[in-house]
Amino acid sequence: MKSDIRVCSAWREAHDSPVYTLSGTCPDCGAETANSAPAPFDPNDPYGEYRRALKRRRR
Ligand SMILES: [Zn+2]
Domain ranges (residues) in the chain: 6-58
CB atoms within 10 A of CB 33: 21
Q: Which residue has the higher pLDDT, 34 or 58?
A: 34
Q: What is the pLDDT of residues 23-54, one digit of tens each?
A: 999 999 999 998 876 555 566 666 666 777 77
Q: Global pTM?
A: 0.57
Q: Is beta strand 20-21 parallel, antiparallel or unpaired with respect to 6-8?
A: antiparallel
pLDDT of residue 45: 65
**How far does the centroid of ligand 1 lie from the alpha carbon of residue 11, in Å?**
5
**How far does the centroid of ligand 1 lie from the alpha carbon of residue 7, in Å?**
8
d(CA 4, CA 45): 22
Residues 2/7/9/14 CA torsion (nearest 10 deg): 180
pLDDT at 7 over 70: yes
pLDDT of residue 59: 62
**How far does the centroid of ligand 1 lie from the alpha carbon of residue 46, in Å?**
23
E strand or H helix at 45, and its extent?
Answer: none
